[in-house]
């Protein structure tokens, strides 16, 4: 459901501050200013090639990683793909590698926030994954060294859900009565980062469900909600919809699927 982000060109550099050239978001061209990579006092960029000698594991599939496509070049035209997240590597390389001389974003999301500033806000919302407190990390859901940065996007939606159900096994199923919505992925109903709504839901009320279960207004009369046609039930929902959410007490309390009832009730 989210806007797919695309990009066309890489980078222009102004004295160390990087600006991503023409990024295509949906159909609109935007200029996005990206903040500088993490800073390491006294260090300069050496380029990703240098990292290969000692970190084959992390480098060998990097070519097809989302962030490699966006690889920055510094003003000496060195490709600083790796260093865009780990900070400049000269000191690290000089001492033959040590933990203290590189930034590791597993320990803190700050390195990611350098460029994805809006994400700090999402993770500060009252209902959000505990990333700021370190209980969950960006890399639990995102690839950094290979492939698409959003894990499990690809052939099947099942694999996208796997990213979530490795921690949330109760929602995994299989259920005797599956809810068709699960094929659209967990993000059909949840914002994976955080939300103002409880349970990180994308909507707080019946609209969560009516986005899919809504008949064209022309059939039911101007703008009137008539969920019945989509739900294929003779039950009139218009009065029920005023009583609360679709998933509150006595109604569709099993939005992920049910083992007892074919209308996602318990
Ligand atoms: C998009 C940001 C990003 C980029 C680009 C990136 N890394 Fe990483 N790197 C991470 C994160 C996050 C971790 C922590 C991963 C974890 O703990 O699973 C990490 C961990 C590491 C580690 C620690 C050992 C390990 O695997 O846990 C090494 C070494 C490393 N990266 C090297 C590299 C090299 C070499 C490149 C370039 C080919 C690179 N990284 C590019 C984000 C990035
Ligand atoms: C001469 C070998 C060598 C080179 C070149 C090298 N590293 Fe390392 N790197 C190491 C060693 C050794 C460690 C420490 C491993 C340990 O202590 O477990 C390390 C650790 C790391 C870590 C983990 C830091 C942490 O806090 O966990 C990252 C990230 C990393 N390197 C990234 C890079 C990047 C990016 C480059 C290229 C700019 C690079 N390294 C170049 C040898 C090297
Ligand atoms: C040096 C800047 C920079 C850093 C640091 C950085 N990113 Fe990105 N990342 C980008 C850019 C640029 C894009 C693509 C354009 C956009 O943001 O819409 C992107 C895209 C992404 C995407 C979206 C991929 C898609 O298919 O839509 C994810 C997920 C992501 N980054 C996660 C991370 C994580 C996690 C970290 C930290 C480990 C991180 N990034 C660090 C610059 C960065
Ligand atoms: C609980 C899993 C999870 C965690 C933790 C997580 N993300 Fe995401 N993120 C996702 C999913 C799933 C998507 C794809 C959303 C979609 O397709 O609707 C996404 C999308 C993105 C995107 C691209 C679309 C957008 O919203 O801009 C960026 C950038 C991103 N994440 C960055 C981050 C960063 C940075 C962190 C850590 C600070 C992080 N994410 C932590 C699951 C997660
Ligand atoms: C690394 C483990 C991990 C992954 C992966 C993960 N989560 Fe979570 N999730 C958590 C933790 C920890 C909490 C906070 C639990 C708490 O506060 O009781 C949480 C909370 C939630 C909540 C709120 C639960 C509540 O009771 O309020 C929802 C909804 C949720 N996650 C959905 C998702 C979705 C959707 C994905 C995949 C995009 C996902 N999670 C991936 C660990 C994870
Ligand atoms: C059709 C919409 C929908 C989809 C798709 C969906 N959820 Fe939910 N989820 C909900 C609703 C509604 C609630 C709130 C239930 C409540 O408060 O009683 C919820 C609650 C949760 C909770 C809190 C615990 C609970 O069960 O009440 C977690 C964790 C969660 N969902 C994870 C997931 C994961 C993981 C996926 C994908 C595998 C997913 N959800 C897909 C609608 C959905
Ligand atoms: C992403 C789209 C989507 C969302 C959001 C969604 N659903 Fe569904 N729902 C479906 C699909 C697809 C089916 C299967 C329809 C079919 O088989 O004819 C379905 C089936 C159902 C059924 C069974 C209907 C029947 O007669 O078999 C109920 C009840 C239901 N959904 C309730 C809900 C509730 C309650 C919510 C909100 C918590 C919700 N749905 C959100 C897509 C969605």
Q: Which candidate, 8, 7, 21, 11, places its Cα nearest to that of 75?
A: 11
Tokens of 131: 């990333």
CA distance 35 to 11: 12
Instruction: Give the residues across from 6 on adjacent strands.
Output: 24
CB atoms within 10 A of CB 60: 11
What does the pLDDT read at residue 38?
Answer: 86
Q: Which residues line ligand 4 (CB under 6 A)?
A: 1-2, 109, 112, 116, 119, 123, 129, 131, 136, 138, 140-142, 150, 187, 192-193
Instruction: Give the residues across from 25 on adjacent strands.
Output: 5, 28
Residues 6+ apart with CB under 8 A from 134: 107, 108
Please report which helix (H) or strand (E) contains residue 20, including its range. strand 17-25
Tokens of 23: 């990024």
CA distance 110 to 213: 40
Q: How far is CA 149 from the centre of its chain?
A: 9
The bound ligand whose nearest atom lies closest to the alpha carbon of 152 is 4
Q: How far is CA 102 from the centre of its chain?
A: 25
CB atoms within 10 A of CB 199: 11
Please report which helix (H) or strand (E) contains residue 178, including its range. strand 177-178
Q: Which residues line ligand 1 (CB under 6 A)?
A: 48, 51, 55, 58-59, 62, 67, 81-82, 84-86, 104-106, 139, 144-145
Q: For the chain, which residues score pLDDT lower than 70?
A: 1-36, 70-72, 74-75, 153-158, 215-235
How far, in Å, is the centroid of ligand 7 from the Cα of 259?
15
- The residue ranges of every structural domain in the chain are 5-105, 157-258
CA distance 60 to 125: 37
Find out whether 103 and 85 touch, Cβ atoms under 8 Å. Answer: yes
Q: What is the pTM of this model?
A: 0.90
């Amino acid at each position: 459901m989210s806007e797919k982000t695309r990009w066309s060109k890489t980078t222009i550099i102004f004295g160390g501050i990087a600006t991503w050239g023409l990024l295509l978001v949906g159909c609109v061209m935007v200029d996005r200013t990206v903040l500088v990579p993490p800073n390491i006092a006294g260090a300069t960029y050496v380029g990703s090639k240098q990292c290969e000698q000692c970190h084959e594991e992390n480098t060998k599939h990097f070519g097809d990683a989302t962030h490699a496509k966006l690889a920055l070049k510094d003003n000496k035209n060195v490709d600083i793909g790796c260093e865009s997240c780990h900070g400049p590597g000269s000191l690290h390389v000089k001492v033959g590698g040590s933990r203290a001389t590189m930034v590791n974003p597993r320990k803190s999301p700050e390195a990611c926030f350098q460029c994805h500033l809006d994400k700090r806000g999402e993770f500060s919302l009252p209902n959000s994954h505990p990333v700021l407190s370190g209980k969950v990390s960006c890399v639990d859901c995102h690839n950094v060294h290979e492939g698409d940065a959003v894990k499990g996007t690809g052939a099947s939606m099942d694999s996208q859900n796997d990213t979530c159900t490795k921690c949330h096994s109760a929602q995994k199923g299989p259920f005797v009565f599956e809810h068709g919505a699960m094929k659209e992925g967990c993000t059909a109903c949840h914002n994976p980062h955080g939300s103002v709504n409880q349970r990180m839901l994308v909507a707080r009320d019946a609209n969560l469900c009516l986005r899919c279960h809504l008949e064209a207004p022309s059939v039911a009369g101007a703008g009137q909600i008539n969920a019945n046609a989509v739900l294929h039930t003779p039950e009139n929902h218009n009065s029920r919809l005023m009583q609360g959410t679709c998933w509150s007490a006595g109604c569709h309390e099993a939005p992920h699927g049910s083992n007892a009832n074919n209308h996602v009730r318990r």
